[in-house]
Structure 1
Amino acid sequence: MGGRLQVKGGRGTRRPVPQFLRRPIPLGLLIALVAQLLFAWRLTTPHKLMFDEVHYVPAARQLLALDGPINIEHPLMAKTLIAAGIALFGDNSLGWRALSTLAGTAVVAGVFALLWLGTRRLRPAATGAVCAMLGFTVFVQARIAMLDGFMAAFVVTGAACLLWAMHGTRPQVWRRWVAGAVLLGLATGCKWTAAPYVAFAGLALVVLKHRRPDRWAGMDVIAGLAVLGTVSVATYFLTFAPTFFYARDPLTLATLIPFQLKMYAQQTQVLPPHTYQSSWWTWPVDLRPIWYLYEPVDGAQRGVLMIGNPAVIWGGLVAVVACALGWLRTRDVRLGVAAAVWIAGFAVWAVIPKSLGFFYYYYLPSIWLCIAIAVALDRWRVRLAGWDEAYLVVAAGLFLHFYPIISAAPLSGPRAFERWMWLSSWP
């Protein structure tokens, strides 16, 4: 019964969903397909660069031409993928953003996989994946050529591979563990803010292996940590391969490590104040979202607001607290992990040495909220019978309400945004 999905039928009864959707792979693929279609719809609007695309698209163009270093404060992997989109679809709004949609879909599929592997139940897996799809932040990042979308896709799918490695034969365990380490290395190759997740993965191995030695069968802790560290670091440095072929100022093996110090100096420099800057402790309550676009473009007033779905961004905090308190009472590992991954992912921002903060830095923690929501609803499913469905209806309703200002849809005029401004601190 644990993996079955059912929907309400007439007269308060429930009828089972079609047989093929009662298996994880078909259901996960269906949700991923819906997400991809949603993210790709009207993707090319606006036809001009918006927000940080003005930094990363020119960097991708220069990388594609192997001309020389640019935008050196960040690693290359995400910019390489933007360049691949340009090579495939042209130097236009489709080429800039096409692969970002795939990254967003990978996040949704990765959330489904994490919840299925962690609970072995389809209902929470589907709930978490739909929350991610409708939570605004994944939708917005899936439709812009920025680094964070690719970074998150590699982190989420990497975490899913490492969790998948808990099950299977010894060769399967090692293949899946190595795959997870590669994906985390690629995530760090997109943006350094993924690096703490390598440490989180190592800590999870130590703690969970201690509690249940049968997990990750045939892999001891020391060997697992060694492979995780070695493979992720090696993968990270391999992402710099294009820089060795620059026509101007190419890197060499001798300059690769010193170049990392230059990147660190760029990352930690003191920047001038920004209109949309915000402190890390304000992000969970969504006090200061960011306009990625708000101007007349393509024949109409349009806007793209990086904001969280209130049902997910605020409801997720309730779920995190519920999971943490539930773990304290029951020591249920699923509750503890669901709370811990958000707490750890958010807490790192208290120590990362950045002179300015922005709400989009909260992107990964906003994804972990979907895990907490699904786990909490599943853990107390008897007491909350039917509430997961009602919750998703609310989330979907809010998605439809805010859709015009997260999708660059035509608006009625310059002051149209006021309709959606719930808080005085919102733009």
Structure 2
Amino acid sequence: MSLLVADDEADRVIPDPAPRQVDDAELARERLIGTPMPADRLRGWIVTAVLGLLGGFIRFQNLGNPTDDGTPVFDEKHYVPQAWQMLRNGGFEDNPGYALTVHPPLGKTMIAIGEWLFGYNGWGWRFTAALCGALMIVMIIRIARRLTRSTLLGAIAGVLLMADGVSHLQSRMGMLDIFLAFFVLAAFGAVLVDRDQVRSRLAVAVSEGWINASPYGPRVGVRWFRILAAVMLGLACGVKWSGLYYIAAFGLLTVLFDVTARRAAGVRHPWIGTLLRDLFPALWAFLAVATLAYLSTWWGWFGSETGIDRHLAETTGGGFGDAVVGALGSLWQYSDHVLNFHSNLVTDPAKQHPWESKPWTWPMGLRPMLYYYEGNTLGCGESKCVAATMLIGTPALWWLALPMLVWGLWRMVGRLDWRYAAVITAYLAGLLPWFINLDRQMYFFYVTPMAAFLVLGLVLPLGHLLGRARDGAERRGTGLLVVAMYVGLVVANFVWLWPILNGDSITESRWQAELWLPSWR
């Protein structure tokens, strides 16, 4: 018998070798490494750069429109003037007259950067949001490529996020949620790189034969990407406190990754090894490092004399029996006031916000939000034109959220697929905590961090549809056709929604045609 082997220069025929003897160490190393990253690194970066530039153009297109006669629209009215005040003061807010000074400073600081560059106008207060939205497209391409080991699927993830209505509009608003989404996605990418790095280090121990020098396995050294993830999560909390949910979710995820890595390496006691070798460094990273990163976002407030509640501890005590004093004590009390505000921000049945929604409506985007409406504009070719911006998740994406969750949970639990476990954990970290207090006022824009994980949760099954190289040309061709048709549907859906995502002037009939469901009105 003979075996045909592909060579770089030509195909050559060699004798069929004897059956390969695979020892336990080699099997463990193969389990650890799994499918390697694609070899097309240059093409991967070219695809990333091209789609990133295209996404940036889309996010920045006519960024200064719309405004309310030159002033912010919707919740921009809270954060944009606060950011302008921080810019004038050197990094802190000192006007308690802003009744909604109830979020940490980082998001407003980032808005202030754009205002510093371009002034107090639509371009200025939306610039950094659009920049973060464009960079998220770059990040999700690289993250999906690492998850799937496919440059093509990475590119598809970039196109889908580019065509998501929630990500698009939130990237064009002077609000906080896109910054939260940016740091959460960056942390998720760092967690994935950390997983691969740990497995590579354990594979070295397996190859060199000292994996079981201790029954608990070896130490894996300093994990810089886990520290980076903790920094990103601390910064996420510096935008909104809902970043805490992701600290808990990603911390748990890394511990489970560590257990499965040690088990795959053949460590005799993987759970105990993880507890002894990995748990305490993880707690240090996700608690201590994240806390330091969070506190760093208050730099302007710490350095001020007139920041809101800056010297509160000196007049009322610092809490914990006055053990927390000085600036930290004041920040503790200030944070307690903010927590009380959020805890008591409940729905008044007599004064319910017209666009309020509850979390069970969010996965499919059943209750979007109208940010801006002008019913008497020009430019559509008729006597009466409408200009509006509405936060809508592209239905071709968002209406598949529940099937994505069902499939993802089955793959996660039934097939122990780590990729789905990572994505579903991140997605649910953005959704489930809001069910704790259903009396609280809640709005659809809270889903902004979830959008990227919805895209990743859809890209993974698209990879199944696409098939593998060994499945044959016909199977791959059919899979590619189905995937291409779906991506085309999402892009076409996004193009249809474009006028009401960007505030373009359209006819009244076109406006009504955009409102597909009664709950959209």
Superposition TM-score, scaled by structure 1 size:
0.88
Q: Does 1:420 align with 2:514?
A: yes
Report the secondary structure of 2:408's partner residue: helix
The answer on 1:62 being equivalent to 2:85 is: yes
Partner SS, residue 223 of structure 2: helix
Look up the match of 1:160: 189
Q: Which residue does the alignment assign to 2:505? A: 410
Contact 1:205-1:221 within 8 A present in 2 as well: no
* Pairwise CA distance, 1:208: 1.1
Deviation sequence 1:213-247 (CA, Å, 0-9, x none)? 289x9972321221221111111112112123154
Partner of 1:46: 66
- CA-to-partner distance for each residue in 1:37-87, whole Å, 9 max, x for gaps? 100001111143111001111111111122504432111100011111101
Relative to structure 1, is the Cα distance of residues 248 and 237 closer, same or farther in structure 2, using a 3 angstrom cutoff? closer
SS in 1 for 2:519: coil
How many matched pairs?
407
The equivalent of 1:275 in structure 2 is: 354
Per the alignment, residue 390 of structure 2 pairs with: 305
Listed as ranges, the gaps of 5+ residues in structure 1 are 1-18
Name the larger-Rg structure.
2
Q: Percent identity?
A: 26
Q: Are the counterparts in 1 of residues 182 and 449 from structure 2 also a CA contact under 8 Å?
A: no
How far does residue 325 in structure 1 lie from its aligned partner after superposition?
2.2
How many angstroms does 1:186 deviate by? 0.7
Task: Name the structure 1 match of 2:242.
Answer: 193
Does the 8 Å contact 2:114/2:128 carry over to 1? yes
- Residue 393 of structure 1 corresponds to 488
Question: How big is the shift at 1:324?
Answer: 2.0
Q: How does 1:218-233 map to 2 (within 5 A)?
A: 220-233=278-291
Task: Letter of the 2:496 partner, please give it.
Answer: H
Contact 1:278 1:359 (8 Å CA) reproduced: yes
Give the Cα–Cα distance (whole angstroms) in 1 for the partners of residues 301 and 44 of structure 2: 41
What SS does the aligned partner of 2:479 have?
Answer: coil
2-side partners of 1:265 and 1:75: how far apart?
A: 15
Structure 2 unaligned spans of 5+: 1-38, 202-219, 266-273, 311-326, 380-385, 468-474
Counterpart AA for 1:68: D
Structure 2 match to 1:322: 407
**Aligned residue for 1:27?**
47
Query: In the alignment, is the contact (CA less than 8 A) between 2:255 and 2:282 conserved in 1?
Result: no
TM-score, normalization by structure 2? 0.73
Deviations 1:364-388 (A, max 9, x none): 2232110110011113423770222
Which residue number corresponds to residue 334 of structure 2?
259
The 1:78–1:21 alpha-carbon spacing in structure 2 relative to 1, beyond 3 Å, is same
The 8 Å contact of residues 79 and 174 in structure 2, kept in 1 or not, is answered as: yes
**Aligned partner (choices 129, 132, 139) of residue 110 of structure 1:** 139
- In structure 2, what is the equivalent of residue 359 of structure 1? 444
Q: Bigger CA drift: 96-105 or 70-79?
A: 70-79
Deviates more, 1:73-82 or 1:314-323: 314-323
Instruction: Tell me whether 1:79 sits opposite 2:108 in the alignment.
Output: yes
1: CA distance, partners of 2:423 / 2:224: 25
State whether residues 21 and 27 of structure 1, in contact with CA within 8 Å, keep that contact through their aligned partners in structure 2: no
Q: Counterpart of 1:347?
A: 432
Q: Could you tell me which amino acid in structure 1 is paired with residue 301 of structure 2? A: T
Who is 1:136 aligned against?
Answer: 165
**What is the alpha-carbon root mean square deviation over aligned residues?**
2.5
Matching residue of 1:234: 292
Indicate yes or no: 2:242 matched with 1:175.
no
Of 377, 388, 394, 2:462 maps to 377
Question: What are the superposed Cα offsets for residues 282-331 of structure 1, whole Å, 9 maximum, x if unpaired?
Answer: 11122211111111587563111101111110123322322222334422
Given the superposition, is the C-alpha separation of residues 220 and 328 from structure 1 closer, same or farther in structure 2, using an over 3 Å criterion?
closer
**Which secondary structure does the structure 2 equivalent of 1:293 belong to?**
strand
User: SS state of the match for residue 220, structure 1?
Assistant: helix
Q: Which residue of 2 aligns with 1:294?
A: 373
Counterpart AA for 1:412: T
Q: 1:423 to 1:249 in 2, by over 3 A?
A: closer
What letter corresponds to residue 320 of structure 1 in structure 2?
L
Q: Which amino acid aligns with 1:302?
A: A
CA distance 1:60–1:298, shift in 2 (3 Å): farther
CA 1:317–1:23: 2 relative to 1, 3 Å:
farther
1:144-195 CA distances to partner (integer Å, 9 max, x unpaired)? 0000011100110121122212334879963222222111111111011111
Task: Give, in whole Å, the separation in 2 of the partners of 1:173 and 1:294.
Answer: 53
Amino acid at match of 2:250: A
Give 1:361's aligned amino acid: Y
